[in-house]
Structure 1
Amino acid sequence: MSRRSRRQSFRVDRPSARLLVVSAVLLDLLFVVGAVAAWPIYRAPAFVMVVAIALASAHVIAWAGVRWRLSGWWLALLTFGVYVVLGLPVVAPAMLTGGGDQALRGLVGVITAPVTGWKDLLTLDLPLGTYQTTLAPVFLIWLSVPVAALSLAWRARRLWVLAPLLGLLLPIFGVLFGAAALSDPLAWGPLMIPGPIEMAVGAAAVLLALAYVVWRTLDDRRRSLRAAEAATGIRTTGRSGSAVAGRIAISAAMVTIAVAAGAIAAPLAVAGQPRDVLRERIDPRLEIQAQLSPLAQYRSFFADDRYDEVLFSIATDADRVRLATLSYYDGRLARVLDPSVDGSDQTTAFVRVPSSLPAPGGTVPATADVTIAAYDDVWMPTVGSLTGIQFRGESSSALADGFFYSPSAQTGVVLGGTALTTGLGYRQEAAVPTSLPAVADLVPGRTSPQLLPATVPESLTDWIRAQEAPGGGEGLALLIERLRARGFLSHALSIDAERPPLWRAELGDYTFEPSRAGHSTDRIDAMFTALLQRETDVGGEDDALLVAAVGDDEQFSVAAAMIADQLGFAVRIVLGARLTGDELPRCEDGGCRGGDVSAWIEVQDASGVWVPVDVTPQHENAMSPDVLEVRDPEVPTEVHPEGAEQVLPGDADPADNGERSDDPLPESVDWAAIWAGARIGAITLSALLLVTGPFLLVLLLKAVRRRSRRSAPDPVGRVTGGWDEYVDAAVDSGLPAPGTRTRQEVADLHGAGDHGSRATLLATWADRSVFDAEPTTSADSDRFWETVEAERSRLLAERGWWARLRARLSLRSLTRRTRT
């Protein structure tokens, strides 16, 4: 068939304007419903613009496929090319104009979005806004899915039924990557409808898909009847207007009843069931749980090499800077996360921060400019409640990707191998409380303690009863005040008297007392046992004579938290530094040294506000000598060496270690660098497989098909398989498909000149092998396949490089039997 005749037949098969317009309108409505379902993920005007540009581009690409009859592979390549070219200016125009480095990172983010974009969608807190390239998956999905759906609707004769099914993927995207919480329920008299927006979106999507299927079925039937009338001259009798109206009314009533029944039954069916979305499956809590307790490392800041070293500098109007919030205590360690709670607990979830977070009520905006010096931990210095953050420097993009924040705990961390380095800076937007109530005015929100009884020493509850303090905030203020006044500050188990540590020298007239590290229940029990014993020995209420508990913020913060819990307050421990005040250590001129790090507790009032309470013990009143002197036993103990048995020490508790060894740890393999390289290689390989995998799959399928045909057990089967191989090669090269034609008709259709004689020879040979009485031999089948391979090579040799590649990757031969 000549090229002109093929064009003419194509014009006959070209879809009508009515089919193009109606199909596009119905499917576009389905695409828009999908955009409505995904709107809560972003809630930004840029999302609307990205969807509009993607849909417009999809219509142009699909129409180009119809106009020039492009194959599926060319449509896929054209779609991916449009995505790459328009991706960065559409989804992240700010990165395009932000300089070469920003533009390059944005382009990489757009290209890798099909592989890694889901991570940004699931680990960032909603709404995402226009954060970096998080809109790239939207542009890709609202471009590729409509191209495929419109191409099927406009060009496929039977597979058009897949078009609305592809359109339903867009609302599903909004559900899977959306929030776990439904929209506010809708009350209609005694009927309560949960998630009315989600229900409306789902119903609209299903009804639109159904409407398209019904319309297309009726349209195909109408065109078939017209074709039959044109071929036979026999007119069909249509239904009367009343019959059509009746059918429409019945159908509409059935759909209305089904939707109404679903709206009523669905809430009852899913009542009490959680809404499972992909967002709930991603949680960085595993990396956070692998970190040591920040409070267990408290005394490391008071070593001489860190005590006077500036960790970071901060410029802000806030009065405190927070490093970590520890809300859980298990009797051994105070922790940021409760290891007994699974990752579905959203109240303790750490999420990536989008462009901004909402400010809590009763707050005013504040800013903090932070510059990292010698601080290298994962816990980020922050103030107040974070509402936004902008990193500065070469590694700003990597830090933004690795930064996670817990709004409930007001704690930020840097994970994923990203580290804080000297010179790193960032600007934090925050919200700080307008005013805070006094501790004595606080009202507890509970009536019973929350800590497990096994984690609270009996000596602490005995000491609380011995103070005869009132309840509520007044009692909390009194008990914390007495605890601090009767405690004594010490940061070490022992010191060198000739070369005292820097913290000892800065305290001035100070009498050293040994204090072991750790904040386990046993350590807290020792403190309150000493306090009770001192009260028994001395009596009275003179705090200067009742000093007996030795420790620092590590122990006293845990002790104060236990006291607040016993009084019914929600409480948490905070590790950070003070920026104002003269009575306790604070950061001078915004430079926070190791010796400025402290710990305090935050107590929650019944109104929900958290109030900081300092717990650092005093150091002016030394412990009385009569408490420290220990007399030797008056009755000597008789020792029998020959009967002594060796008793091995118990397992060491890392939380109760006193002095830590200064010996360097043995060097180990840098698995972080190896893992980073392996991850980059895996991402690169995945991207290559994503791009080349479909092409390799087509080549593999054709090779397997050819091998099975050539190795058929029967010589006749090998000959007929060789004919099928020739026909497939001709179809992939652009020649017409055989349809219902015989072999000789196909040879005449494909043949011209000498080539036609070879095609006729193959057709005659194949017919003879099937119908001739003389059996076909294996030698005949081998010669037949040699002729087939020569004809395949000729068909490819007559074309250019691109045409040969397109023929090898063509899907026409794989789908021609389905079309037939």
Structure 2
Amino acid sequence: MTRAPWSAFVAAALAIALGVLAAWPIYQTPWLLVPAAAGLVLGSGLIWASLRLNWSAPILLTIAALAFALTLLPVAVPQALLGPPAGLVPWAADALAAVVLGWKQLLTLTLPVGTYQTVVVPAYLVFFVTSLSTGWIAQRSSRFAPLAAAPLLLPVAFGTVFGAAEVSAPLRLGAVSLAAPREVALWGAAAGLGAVWVAWHAGYERRAALRLGRTERSAAVRGTATRVASAIAMLALAGLVGATFAPALSGDRVVPRDSVDPELVLAERPSPLAGYREWKSDTRIDAPLFEVSGADAAGGDADAAGGLPPRLRLAVLDHYDGVNFQVGPHAAGRFTRLPSAPQVLDPVRVSITIAEGYTDIWAPIASLGEPPQFVGPRSDLLADAFYVNRDTGAAIAVPGDPGSEGLAAGDGYAAIMSAAPGGPLSGDPVSETPLVDLESMPELAAWVRTQNQPATAGGLTELVELLRGRGYLSHAISGAESEWVTRLAEQHGTRFEPSVGGHSTARLEDLFAQLNTQQRSVGERVSEAQLVAAVGDDEQFAAAAAMLARVLGFESRVVLGVRLGEGVPGVPGCQRVCTGEHLSAWIEVRGEAGEWVPLDATPQATLPPTSLAEGEQLPEFPTTPEERDAREVDPPLGFGDRSEVADEAEQVAPPSGVWPVVRAALLAISALVLLVVPLLFLPLAKRWRASQRRREPIAELRAIGAWLELVDRAADSGVRLPHTMARSDAARVLGTDAARQIASEVDRAVFAPGQFGDADADRLWRLVEDQAAAHRAEVGFWGRLREAYALRSLGIRFRGSSVSKRDSTAEWS
């Protein structure tokens, strides 16, 4: 290299190292070092090759774009190489699209993102551009080389702009507290690097002159002192700015991530708990929902590693409106993508395959230790449509393809999940006062007072167990010959007892009224069997247990899902294939300890309710109450009403397997177009300039334009013509008959008296075009390409330019 190439490499390496530290909170994966090293080596290597092979700037940019595109997959999308070779083309299309759209994906993902999909592409692009631009600017003249300090700030700026709003904790040194020490240190280091770069390159030519003995030593000492003082001043200014504005960083800063909504807000849907009883009907009790298998984190059998997770969540419902438990409009209803996940206890790899009996957006999962890997015909579509609520642990899949509202038969995924069992509830409640309006539920309040349990974790656990023990399992208001009755009778001796569906305030008050009436009727000192009075199933009892927790000041929510392995009496756990029979509901409770603890709420199925008076008989012809079980059917799409226009659009929509390919192709083409557009700027600008000169309305000006066009084309080919040279002298340098004739005619048009007509100006332009055509035929394709992107005719000249330089005696022919 011509100008201390090692300095550009060292500066770029330091800037990229600072960029890795700044971007670490975004990615938090050691793989970030790979694009950092690749960007540094590739960018610096291309600069070295351009100087050795005498490339022009456009050729360098073209080769750099191709090299970057070819290295995208192995450097920035490592997971693409782990799949089948047939999947490389879609991955490559997504990676090229991420060059343009990756910033948006990075802003709409919850941090950290790891190596999820193509999120590493923006970081690789920043590191590569930093190395390439620093090396290229450093090889310019001493007037431009200090400008390389600007790209040296780019990596730290990337980590700052795309990072989280939270800053590092204050650093206390005795009585002094420094706000955001990490951020201040990174920017201080970046500013120091830029100051050293400017100070070093500002005196490059002076040091070269000193080595040749052409500068007085005293002047050199003065110049050195000036540069050192300038660098110290820049560092002091950066420190002063940091110290002044650091207190403002003590809170959350404003970043672009705050302006881009990264969440999918689940629209109001029918409560899945309200439709719980439909899964126990004869038509759906044996319907296969999904198949579960597992292996330990190292790939061994799950049974040897302690088994599968004890539970799989479907829906988590935290909001009660007096009618239904459903997903709340706040934290529980906001779902985000899952680019990475924290480590979990007792990790086990769980594979889930959706069966034909299940079609819904809720994905069965336990606590995830990594993003799921989807399989099946819609794997790519589902990978982009998988969202997780980090507060509740629930997950949804909303692919949005025509005819599908969520997961469907044939879909599947595998992921590391936690197999750790839930611990016992401990700690105090979050509130000293009830979290429910007791005036609206007097029977609930009366039952809690009667049990005389403290507002503690142990008191709540005891209340839930009393509720379960005094309840009796029943899934319907009628149907004594139903399949669920037959099975419970065989297993537990259960007899049919009618129960009304729903879990509204009125239904729960009726349940607690039965318990209160029974307890008052039988008096004190009776067995628990005589206190059994409330009839219902998981729908009513999970809702009732959640309200009990809120009465004692604990936060609570209802979870709909399945148990794996052992279940509870009345609702078995599934071993491999989960069906409607295995679907259950339980509650999760949180106190001051901050962790959600599951509590079972299924009522017992062994002891039937006792009568209020000994010897009382039921009527001979009992009246069957009107069926109140509400069967709510989810809308086909699940996110708002469907219009006739939407239905028509779905009928003509392309098949689900075609649209992802078309979409990826369009994004890839758009990315390529955006990469190509800058390369077309120079040729189009020169063509527009020639067109403007040729359309001048005055013949004399058109003639001058023809001469200027001739000179500019000669300059782009490498001929040096001083601006002060007369036209006749310049024509002799160009050495062609056309140049001499055009120079003579232009001088006549400008200085000689007489009329210079349009025909004369057009003749000069034809001479220019003929001369240009002969020159293009002589230099060939690569010569024409080099001249099309040359910058000399625009007044931009660089040292070390790869354009072949001709001295002032060379001819242009």
Normalising to structure 1: TM-score of the pair?
A: 0.79
Return the structure number with greater helix share: 1
Cα shift readout 1:62-113 (whole Å, capped 9, x = no counterpart):
1222233322221122112222333333445664365423544544444333
Structure 1 pair 128/683, CA: closer, same or farther in 2 (3 Å)? same
Q: Secondary structure at the match of 2:416?
A: strand
Structure 1 pair 388/110, CA: closer, same or farther in 2 (3 Å)? closer
Q: Secondary structure at the match of 2:219?
A: coil
Cα shift readout 1:768-796 (whole Å, capped 9, x = no counterpart):
33334446444443333333333343333
Inter-partner Cα distance in structure 1 for 2:324 and 2:755: 87
What displacement does 1:154 show?
0.5
User: Residue in 1 aligned with 2:674?
Assistant: 690
Cα shift readout 1:607-645 (whole Å, capped 9, x = no counterpart):
333321122235553596999999xxxxxxxxxxxxxxx
The structure 2 residue matched to 1:271, chosen from 247, 250, 254, is: 250
The structure 1 residue matched to 2:770, chosen from 787, 790, 800, is: 790
What displacement does 1:807 show?
4.0
Structure 1 pair 376/279, CA: closer, same or farther in 2 (3 Å)? farther
Inter-partner Cα distance in structure 1 for 2:744 and 2:514: 109
User: Residue in 1 aligned with 2:130?
Assistant: 145
Inter-partner Cα distance in structure 2 for 1:483 and 1:407: 30
Inter-partner Cα distance in structure 2 for 1:42 and 1:79: 25
User: Residue in 2 aligned with 1:412?
Assistant: 395
What displacement does 1:804 show?
3.5
User: Residue in 2 aligned with 1:208?
Assistant: 193
Are residues 1:306 and 2:289 paired? no
Inter-partner Cα distance in structure 2 for 1:56 and 1:428: 35
The structure 1 residue matched to 2:354, chosen from 345, 368, 372, is: 372
Structure 1 pair 814/550, CA: closer, same or farther in 2 (3 Å)? farther
CA contact (8 A) 1:372 1:425 kept: yes
What displacement does 1:36 show?
2.7
CA contact (8 A) 1:372 1:421 kept: yes
Cα shift readout 1:542-590 (whole Å, capped 9, x = no counterpart):
8777777665323432332222122111222211112213413123433
Letter in 2 for 1:694: P
CA contact (8 A) 1:27 1:164 kept: no
User: Residue in 2 aligned with 1:704?
Assistant: 688
Structure 1 pair 496/520, CA: closer, same or farther in 2 (3 Å)? closer
User: Residue in 2 aligned with 1:41?
Assistant: 26
Alignment of 1:425-444 (within 5 A): 425-433=412-420, 436-437=423-424, 439=425, 442-444=427-429
Q: Secondary structure at the match of 1:322?
A: strand
CA contact (8 A) 1:447 1:568 kept: yes
Are residues 1:26 and 2:11 paired? yes
What displacement does 1:317 show?
3.4
The root-mean-square deviation of aligned C-alpha atoms, in Å, is 4.2
The structure 1 residue matched to 2:761, chosen from 778, 781, 801, is: 781
Structure 1 pair 276/812, CA: closer, same or farther in 2 (3 Å)? same
Inter-partner Cα distance in structure 1 for 2:617 and 2:51: 95
What displacement does 1:719 show?
2.9
CA contact (8 A) 2:549 2:555 kept: yes
Letter in 2 for 1:761: Q
CA contact (8 A) 1:177 1:279 kept: no
Are residues 1:764 and 2:736 paired? no
Inter-partner Cα distance in structure 2 for 1:184 and 1:62: 41
Inter-partner Cα distance in structure 2 for 1:24 and 1:713: 53
What displacement does 1:388 show?
6.0
Structure 1 pair 456/53, CA: closer, same or farther in 2 (3 Å)? farther
Letter in 2 for 1:306: R
Letter in 2 for 1:719: A
Structure 1 pair 616/342, CA: closer, same or farther in 2 (3 Å)? closer
User: Residue in 2 aligned with 1:476?
Assistant: 460
Unaligned regions of 5+ residues in structure 2, if any? 294-306, 620-627, 637-641, 802-813
User: Residue in 2 aligned with 1:503?
Assistant: 484
CA contact (8 A) 1:587 1:593 kept: no
Inter-partner Cα distance in structure 2 for 1:314 and 1:433: 17
Letter in 1 for 2:350: A
User: Residue in 2 aligned with 1:569?
Assistant: 554
Q: Secondary structure at the match of 1:368?
A: strand
Inter-partner Cα distance in structure 2 for 1:97 and 1:611: 38
Inter-partner Cα distance in structure 1 for 2:84 and 2:687: 48
Q: Secondary structure at the match of 1:283?
A: coil
Inter-partner Cα distance in structure 1 for 2:36 and 2:519: 73
Letter in 2 for 1:765: E
Letter in 2 for 1:413: I
Structure 1 pair 373/65, CA: closer, same or farther in 2 (3 Å)? same
Letter in 1 for 2:748: R
Inter-partner Cα distance in structure 2 for 1:815 and 1:342: 61
Alignment of 1:530-545 (within 5 A): none
Inter-partner Cα distance in structure 2 for 1:662 and 1:69: 67
User: Residue in 2 aligned with 1:295?
Assistant: 273
Letter in 2 for 1:503: W
Identity fraction in percent: 33
User: Residue in 2 aligned with 1:262?
Assistant: 241
Inter-partner Cα distance in structure 2 for 1:455 and 1:68: 86
Q: Secondary structure at the match of 2:203?
A: helix
Inter-partner Cα distance in structure 2 for 1:258 and 1:628: 94
CA contact (8 A) 1:603 1:610 kept: yes
Cα shift readout 1:694-734 (whole Å, capped 9, x = no counterpart):
23444443343333333334433333333333333334455
Structure 1 pair 25/773, CA: closer, same or farther in 2 (3 Å)? farther
Cα shift readout 1:391-428 (whole Å, capped 9, x = no counterpart):
45565555444433344322233344485443544443
CA contact (8 A) 1:310 1:592 kept: yes
Inter-partner Cα distance in structure 2 for 1:495 and 1:547: 20
What displacement does 1:333 show?
4.7
Structure 1 pair 684/390, CA: closer, same or farther in 2 (3 Å)? closer
Judge which range, 455-464 or 133-142, deviates more.
455-464
CA contact (8 A) 1:83 1:139 kept: no
The structure 1 residue matched to 2:313, chosen from 299, 319, 322, is: 322
Inter-partner Cα distance in structure 1 for 2:268 and 2:793: 55
Structure 1 pair 551/765, CA: closer, same or farther in 2 (3 Å)? farther
Alignment of 1:456-467 (within 5 A): 457=441, 460-465=444-449, 467=451
Inter-partner Cα distance in structure 2 for 1:562 and 1:134: 43
User: Residue in 1 aligned with 2:580?
Assistant: 594
Structure 1 pair 342/663, CA: closer, same or farther in 2 (3 Å)? closer
Inter-partner Cα distance in structure 1 for 2:486 and 2:755: 109
Inter-partner Cα distance in structure 1 for 2:527 and 2:665: 69
The structure 2 residue matched to 1:558, chosen from 526, 543, 565, is: 543
Inter-partner Cα distance in structure 1 for 2:275 and 2:59: 60
Judge which range, 249-258 or 790-799, deviates more.
249-258
Letter in 1 for 2:329: P
Structure 1 pair 433/749, CA: closer, same or farther in 2 (3 Å)? same
Inter-partner Cα distance in structure 2 for 1:185 and 1:770: 73
Inter-partner Cα distance in structure 2 for 1:327 and 1:723: 80
Cα shift readout 1:241-297 (whole Å, capped 9, x = no counterpart):
4x56764675465445434433432232333343525377352423x3466544344
Inter-partner Cα distance in structure 2 for 1:323 and 1:67: 62
Letter in 1 for 2:696: A
User: Residue in 2 aligned with 1:648?
Assistant: none
Unaligned regions of 5+ residues in structure 1, if any? 1-14, 631-655
Letter in 2 for 1:56: V
Structure 1 pair 458/97, CA: closer, same or farther in 2 (3 Å)? closer
Are residues 1:611 and 2:592 paired? no
Judge which range, 184-193 or 212-221, deviates more.
212-221
Bigger RCO of structures 1 and 2 (CA < 8 A, at least 6 apart): 2
Letter in 1 for 2:318: S
What displacement does 1:597 show?
0.8
Inter-partner Cα distance in structure 1 for 2:441 and 2:355: 40
Number of equivalenced pairs: 753
The structure 2 residue matched to 1:183, chosen from 168, 193, 200, is: 168
CA contact (8 A) 2:142 2:202 kept: no
